[in-house]
Amino acid sequence: MEKVEQINDALSHIDLKDKQLNHKNTILEEKSFTYALQLVNSSVLSMALKSAIELGAFDIINKAGIGAKLSAKDIAEEFSCKNPDAATMLDRILRLLANHSIVDCVVVDDENGPPPHLQRLYSMAPVTKYFVSNGGGGSLAPLMVFTHDKIAFESWYQLKDAILEGGTPFNMVHGKHIFQYANLNSSFNQLFNIAMISGTTLTMNKIVESYKGFEHINKLIDVGGGLGIALNIITSKYPHIQGVNFDLPQVIERASPYPGIASLAYIYIYIYIYIYIYIYIYI
């Protein structure tokens, strides 16, 4: 009789273990399915973020002051639009962004509002500051807008074909290299330059704060240096460095002059020859 009870206890223990394992597998399956749904709809988040940037929603919250909490209606009233549903539509976007901690959100009582007499108020989250148009301090907002601009974003639709057939997605869509396209399309070129200036300013300021590798460099060449923003930030902190900015002729002619930086243009095929000659003669 005692052995029977021991066997029953062992079987019960095994059954409990099986139930626990099945429960864990069920939870894992549900998490995997939920994550798969998030991936399917992942483009919604980036496009919602782009729209909020272009609407100036983050700038409006930021200008309201430290700790300010605004409703979607408060924010939409700052827009120049005639759409009576703007606040409702904006609220849906901000709810999504709040779910991903891009903005903070609290729900408060609103006796004057429609049932259920509740209102969502939005404020700055730690990451929001990177999407605010903060002038010379740098921002990721222009880079976000550029990478999701229709002209740039269309390249992703050719990624599969580029892998199967060879080639560059942007060239396949627009018939020319992105830099050639930018040289012929002033609005796209401006969008690109603003994105590079803002993103570079933010990134390089963080680099020079902690990286000490520039202290013993006398001459620094930035190949593909664009408008010279990165070099200017470096040489401003380390004025003993002589900077050389290499880039395409149409880029160099638009670059602002900076103290201690020489700008030289190159053509694709001769880039390495130019660099070699400059290093050999001048350095």
Mean pLDDT check: name the lowest of 19-23, 31-35, 40-44, 193-197. 19-23
Mean pLDDT lowest for which of 79-88, 92-101, 216-225? 216-225
For the chain, how big is the Rg over CA atoms in Å? 28
Q: What pLDDT does 14 receive? A: 66
pTM exceeds cut of 0.85: no
The amino acid at 282: Y
Tell which residue, 251, 250, 155, has the closest CA to residue 197: 251
> What is the residue-wise DSSP string for 204-241?
HHHHHHH--TTTT-SEEEEET-TTSHHHHHHHHH-TTP
Average pLDDT along the chain: 86
Measured CA distances, 240 to 203, 209, 225, 233, 262 (Å): 22, 17, 19, 13, 14
Asked, as a colleague might, if the bond just before 116 is cis with ω within 30 of 0, I would say: yes
H-helix or E-strand containing 221?
strand 219-223
In the chain, the amino acid numbered 32 is S
The average pLDDT across 1-29 equals: 68
